[in-house]
Chain A
Amino acid sequence: MANYGGWVGKTLRVDLSNGNISIENTLEKYKDYLGGTGIGYKVLWDEVPAGTQPFDPVNRIVFGVGPLAGTGAPCNGRTAITTLWPTCWPKSLVASGHMGGNFAAELKYAGFDAIIIYGKADQPVWLCILDGKAEIRDARNLWGEGIRRTSMEISRQMGPRASVAAIGQAGENLVPMSVVINSHSHSAGGVGSVMGSKNLKAIGVLGTGSIRIAGNKEEWEKAVNYHLSLLGANNQHVVPDSPQKWSEYYGPTRWVASPGRRWGAASSSIDTGSCDPHNLNRIAYRTNNAAFFLGERAWKYTVRGNGCSSCPIRCHTILKVPSVSSKYGIPEIGQNTCVGMLFGRNFFRSFPDGPKGETSIEACMVGMSLADDLGIWDNYGQMQRDFQELYYSGILKEKVGSKEFKSYSWDEYEKGSPNFLFKLLRGIALKRDELTTALGMGTGYHLERWGIPEKDWQERPELSYWKMGHPRHHSSEEAGQTGVIINTQYNRDSQCHSHTNFIRNGLPLHVQKQIAVDIWGSTDAIDAMSAYSPMNVYKAKMAKWSILRKELHDSLSICNWMGPWIASPLKEHNYKGDDSVESLLYSLATGNPKSREELDKDSERIFVLHRALTIRDMQTSDMRTKHDTVPKWIFKDQAGKPPFSSGSSAMDPDDIKLAMDMFYSEMGWDLETGAPRTETYQKLGLQDVADVFDRNGLAVG
C-alpha cells in the first residue's frame, strides 16, 4: 500500500456490546470511498442487514472524515455521521448528519480517519480516543447531564485541547429529534438517539499527531492560497449585501461586512469595515450570520465570528446579551448559526416588539442555550413549523387533552415570551407528556401518532414539508426543477448546497449564466429565482453535478455549506471560480493525483451506493413512485400565478415527470423505476451490489 498523505490511515472499530476495540487500515478497505459519507455508506452496506431498526445494536453509527480534514485546505471542519435515520418515516433508511467544529481535525490528529461504532454497552459509557488508542470509559456519572457539563468533565479528564462530541438528555432518552454536539455549538441532527440507544454518552478525541501533505509544501501553500482567493462569504455568496467601493454589484447575500457595522460586544469594538476580496486577511469579517438572520440589532451583541477548524468563514456568531442572564437565568454568551440560532425564536408567531426586536433575540438566546445543552434537533426548522401549525389550528389542544393543555402557559406563548421555551424544550428532552413526546418523534411519526395524513402537510407551502418526515432544503423556491430533483433523492432533508449557493451568490443572472455555460454546458441550466423556464437537459446535468459535489465534499471533508467554488468574488476573472479546486487539493494532500472527472466518478460511486442502500432497505427498486416523490405544494404558487410565469415558483406536474426522466437518464438509471441498472453498478466498481440485487430480485436490467 502506497504511503499516502491526507489520510492518517487507520479506522477505529468499537463493539460496545463486548468492549472489543480494533483498528483497520482505512485505505485497504475504503480508499475508493474517500472518507466521510463514503465510508459511512460502505459500512452500512457491508455490515447492517436490511430490516435493521435504528436502535438495534447491530446498527452502525459511523463518524467519518476525509483526507482533507485537519489540513489547511479551507473549510474542512465537517464530520459526516452516517447511520439508519431514526426520523425517516415510515421506515428508517440510511442518512447522514454533519457537524462542524474541531472534532474532525482532532480525530485525524489522534490518528483516525473514521470511527465505526456498534453494539450496545450494558451501562452508560464514553469513548476516549487518545493518540492512536481508544478506551471505553464509565459514563454513569455523566448520564443525565447536559452537553456543556459533559464536555467540561471530559475535557477535565483528557486535557483542554480535547474535542468532545456528546449527547444531551434528549439522546439519552431516545428522543429521535436529538443531536450530537461538539465544540459548544456544532451539531449533527438526528443521531443523538442512536448514540443513546448504544448507551454511548460521548466521544472525546485528542491527538498530538500530524497529517502529512504528500505534495511539495510550496505548491501546497500556493494551492491553499489559490482556494482562499476564490472564497466569498458564508454559502459562497460572492458579492456584498450593501454597496461597497470595491464592488461592482451588491445583493441580498450573507456578505454583510461594511464600514460602520461593528462587532459591538468585542472587548474593544471592531469595525468589519471594507472587505475587498483580494485581502485574504479580512475574510473572517465578511460573514455575520447573527446579523444576517436577526437583523441590524445583532451587531451590538456580536463578540466575534466562530466556526470550524481551518475555515476562514465564520458562519457561527458568538453573541453576548447581558440581559438574558438576569431575565432568564441563562449564560449571557451564546452561539450558533442558521436554524440552530433561530431554534427558540421560530416557535413563536409574533413578539411584542416585532420579528427582529429584542425579544426575538432573547428567544434565540434561550433556544440555543437549552437546545444545545439538552441536545434537541429541529429538523431544519420543521419542528417549529409543525408546532405553530398544530397550535394555531387547534389540533394540539384536541390531541393532548385538556389537563395537559392547561399545564402550559399559552398566554405567554401567544405573547411571544421566551419563558415559554423552558418547559417545552426540557419536556421534549425528557419525553414528559404527550405534546413533547410527539414533537420529539419527528414530523412523520408525530403526524402518524396524531392521525394526521402526511398529504395534509404536503399541500401547504408555508409548512415547507417535503416527504418521509423531513422538509425541503433549497428546492423549487430557489432552483426550480433542479431543486426539486435534488430534494427527491435523500432520506432526510437533502442538505445539498451546491446548487443554491450558486443561484443565491448575489451575481446578476447574466454573469451566472456565463459560468453555467462552463460548468453545465448551457446558459439554460439556470433561471432567475421564481421565473422558471420548462425543464431542459442542462438542469438535469446541474442536478447531477450538484449531488455529486455534495457527496464529494462530504467524503473529502470540505464543507458543502461553503462550496462549491465555481463562482468567485474576482471581477478580473469575470467572477469565475474553479470547479477543479477539489481535485487540486486532494491530489496534493494525498499524493494520489486524481482529475476532476476521476473524483466525480468516486462521488458517483458513493451516491449510487446510497441509492442502493435505499433500494435494499425499502425492498423495492421502484424508486420513482415509492421514493422520489414530491409534495403537492410545489405545483402551487402562493399568489396563484401559473407555472413558468414571472414571479411564480409553481412547478408543472408533467414538467417534473420530464425532469425526473432527464435526471435518471443523466445518471444512466432506468427511466421507469429510477433505479440504477446492473451495468451502472458494475461501471462504478459496485459489483457486490449488483450481485446482491441479482440474488434478491431487486436488479434492474
Chain B
Amino acid sequence: MTKKNDGDILKRNGPSVHSSNPCFSRREFLFMGGIIFTAATASQCWSSGNSSLIIIEQANGLVVGDPSKCVGCRRCELACSEFNDGKASPVISRIKISRNLNPWISNPGVKQFGPGTFGNGLVIQDLCKQCPHPVPCANACPHNAIVLAPNTKARVVDSAKCVGCKICQRACPWDMISFDPDTNRATKCFLCNGNPKCVAACPAEALKYVPWCDLTKIERPRISPNTFISPSKASTCIECH
C-alpha cells in the first residue's frame, strides 16, 4: 500500500484528515502491533494484490453510550449520516438507535419486558467496539477493504476496495456494519477521524469518546455472526497461531 493510496482512503473516509498522514505503514504494522513476521511473510502480505490484511493494532479510542441518559432523539444518527454523507439516513448511521427505540420485541435475546419506549423506557445505544485482533469485519472481508485509519486506528471501510458484498455485515456479532444502498458500499464507524459527530450532537451527554477498552468480552452479541475466514487469510493466521 502506498502513501498515495492511503491519502485517498482518508479523503474518502472524511474531510478532516490530513492526507499526508499515512493510514499505516508496513513498519508500523509489524512493530507497533508487537508481532514479528518473517520477512517473507510480510512481503507476501503487503506486496501482492492478493495479500491478506490482518489488523493487529488496537484503536486509540471508542465511543461508548450510557443508556440511562439516552433520550431517544436520534440526533446522533442524523449527525453521523448528514455531516459525513450529506443525507439523513439512520440506516447508514454507524451508531444505531432506531432499532432499539420501540418495543422490547425488537431486542433479540430479550424475551421478557425489556428496553425500549414500549418497555422499561431505556434506549440502548449500539456502537462499534473497534474490536481487537482478530477483527471480525476486517477478517471476513475478502477484499481487504476494512483497514486501519491512521490517527485513530479505527477500523474503516476503504470504499475503493469495497465491492458491496455485505460479508462483513454478517461477520459483526453486534450488527454494526451499515450498507449504503446509494453507493453500494459498506460503511462503519470511523470515529470521524477523532472527533465523533455523534458525541458532539448528543443533547444529553449520553455518548463519550473514551480511550479504547475491550468491550467485546462483556457485551452480548446481537446476531450469530458468520465466522468464515477466507483460506488466504487463514493461511496468514497460521503464521502466528
Is the pair A311, B205 in contact by a Cβ cutoff of 8 Å? no
Residue among A228, A304, A320 with the highest chain B CB neighbour number at 10 A: A304
The 0/1 profile, CB within 8 Å of A marked 1, for residues 79-90 of chain B is 101111111111
The distance in angstroms between the C-alpha atoms of A73 and B169, with both chains bound, is 30
Is the pair A155, B105 in contact by a Cβ cutoff of 8 Å? yes
**Chain-A contact segment, one of B94-102, B129-137, B141-149:** B94-102
Is the pair A71, B88 in contact by a Cβ cutoff of 8 Å? yes
Is the pair A282, B120 in contact by a Cβ cutoff of 8 Å? no
Among B100, B102, B121, which residue has its beta carbon within 8 angstroms of that of A318? B121
Is B92 an interface residue when CB atoms closer than 8 A count as contact? yes
Is A35 an interface residue when CB atoms closer than 8 A count as contact? no
List CB contacts (< 8 Å) of A272-329 with chain B: 280-285, 303-312, 314, 318, 320
Q: Knowing that A208-B91, A285-B204, A307-B72 touch, tell me 19 more A-B residue pairs with CB under 8 angstroms.
A: A71-B82, A105-B74, A151-B103, A160-B100, A183-B117, A184-B117, A220-B86, A224-B82, A281-B205, A282-B205, A283-B204, A304-B70, A306-B121, A311-B73, A318-B117, A318-B121, A320-B120, A333-B120, A335-B121
Is A141 an interface residue when CB atoms closer than 8 A count as contact? no
Q: Give 24 pairs: A residue, B residue, CB < 8 Å, sorted on A.
A: A71-B82, A72-B79, A72-B82, A105-B90, A109-B90, A109-B91, A151-B118, A152-B118, A160-B99, A161-B101, A183-B102, A184-B118, A210-B89, A211-B88, A212-B86, A217-B85, A221-B197, A267-B122, A281-B200, A282-B205, A304-B121, A305-B71, A312-B73, A335-B117
The distance in angstroms between the C-alpha atoms of A335 and B99, with both chains bound, is 20
Is the pair B103, A213 in contact by a Cβ cutoff of 8 Å? no
Distance from B69 Cβ to chain A, minimum over Cβ atoms (Å): 6
Residues of B within 8 A of A160 (CB): 99-100, 102-103, 105-107
Residues of B within 8 A of A304 (CB): 68-71, 121
Residues of A within 8 A of B81 (CB): 210
Is the pair A310, B105 in contact by a Cβ cutoff of 8 Å? no
Is A268 an interface residue when CB atoms closer than 8 A count as contact? yes
Residues of B within 8 A of A220 (CB): 82-83, 86
Distance from B114 Cβ to chain A, minimum over Cβ atoms (Å): 12
The closest CB in chain B to the CB of A332 belongs to: B120
Among B71, B89, B90, which residue has its beta carbon within 8 angstroms of that of A307? B71
Is the pair B203, A280 in contact by a Cβ cutoff of 8 Å? yes
Is the pair A310, B73 in contact by a Cβ cutoff of 8 Å? yes
Residues of B within 8 A of A283 (CB): 203-204
Distance from A275 Cβ to chain B, minimum over Cβ atoms (Å): 10
Residues of A within 8 A of B122 (CB): 267, 303
Main secondary structure, interface of A, reads mixed
Is the pair A217, B82 in contact by a Cβ cutoff of 8 Å? yes
Is B185 an interface residue when CB atoms closer than 8 A count as contact? no
The closest CB in chain A to the CB of B100 belongs to: A160
The 0/1 profile, CB within 8 Å of A marked 1, for residues 177-200 of chain B is 000011000000000000001001
Residues of A within 8 A of B176 (CB): none
The distance in angstroms between the C-alpha atoms of A309 and B73, with both chains bound, is 5
The distance in angstroms between the C-alpha atoms of A318 and B200, with both chains bound, is 24
Main secondary structure, interface of B, reads loop
Residues of B within 8 A of A210 (CB): 81, 87-89, 91-92, 182
Closest 9 CB pairs of A and B: A160-B106, A210-B89, A312-B203, A72-B78, A284-B204, A283-B203, A284-B203, A210-B87, A211-B88
Among A162, A308, A312, which residue has its beta carbon within 8 angstroms of that of B102? A162
Residues of A within 8 A of B (CB): 70-72, 102, 105, 108-109, 148, 151-152, 155-156, 159-163, 183-184, 208-213, 217-218, 220-221, 224, 228, 266-268, 270, 280-285, 303-312, 314, 318, 320, 333, 335
Is the pair A213, B86 in contact by a Cβ cutoff of 8 Å? yes
Is B59 an interface residue when CB atoms closer than 8 A count as contact? no
Residues of B within 8 A of A208 (CB): 91, 181
Is the pair B117, A306 in contact by a Cβ cutoff of 8 Å? yes
The distance in angstroms between the C-alpha atoms of A304 and B117, with both chains bound, is 11
List CB contacts (< 8 Å) of B134-160 with chain A: none
Distance from A442 Cβ to chain B, minimum over Cβ atoms (Å): 30
Is B166 an interface residue when CB atoms closer than 8 A count as contact? no
Is the pair B106, A270 in contact by a Cβ cutoff of 8 Å? no
Residue among B78, B87, B121, B181 with the highest chain A CB neighbour number at 10 A: B121
Residues of A within 8 A of B98 (CB): 102, 161
Distance from A283 Cβ to chain B, minimum over Cβ atoms (Å): 4
Q: Given known contacts A152-B118, A217-B83, A314-B71, is B99 in contact with A281 (CB within 8 Å)?
A: no
Is B202 an interface residue when CB atoms closer than 8 A count as contact? yes
Residues of A within 8 A of B68 (CB): 266-268, 270, 304
Distance from B192 Cβ to chain A, minimum over Cβ atoms (Å): 11
Among B82, B89, B102, which residue has its beta carbon within 8 angstroms of that of A221? B82
Residues of B within 8 A of A307 (CB): 71-73
Residues of B within 8 A of A152 (CB): 103, 105, 118
Is the pair B78, A71 in contact by a Cβ cutoff of 8 Å? yes
Q: Given known contacts A208-B91, A281-B204, A304-B68, is B118 in contact with A310 (CB within 8 Å)?
A: no
Is the pair B69, A270 in contact by a Cβ cutoff of 8 Å? yes
Distance from A344 Cβ to chain B, minimum over Cβ atoms (Å): 19
Is the pair B73, A282 in contact by a Cβ cutoff of 8 Å? no
The distance in angstroms between the C-alpha atoms of A156 and B118, with both chains bound, is 13
The distance in angstroms between the C-alpha atoms of A162 and B75, with both chains bound, is 18
Residues of B within 8 A of A320 (CB): 120-121
Distance from B117 Cβ to chain A, minimum over Cβ atoms (Å): 5
The distance in angstroms between the C-alpha atoms of A447 and B69, with both chains bound, is 47
Residue among B75, B119, B200 with the highest chain A CB neighbour number at 10 A: B75
Residues of A within 8 A of B205 (CB): 281-282
Q: Given known contacts A267-B122, A306-B117, A335-B121, is B203 in contact with A282 (CB within 8 Å)?
A: yes
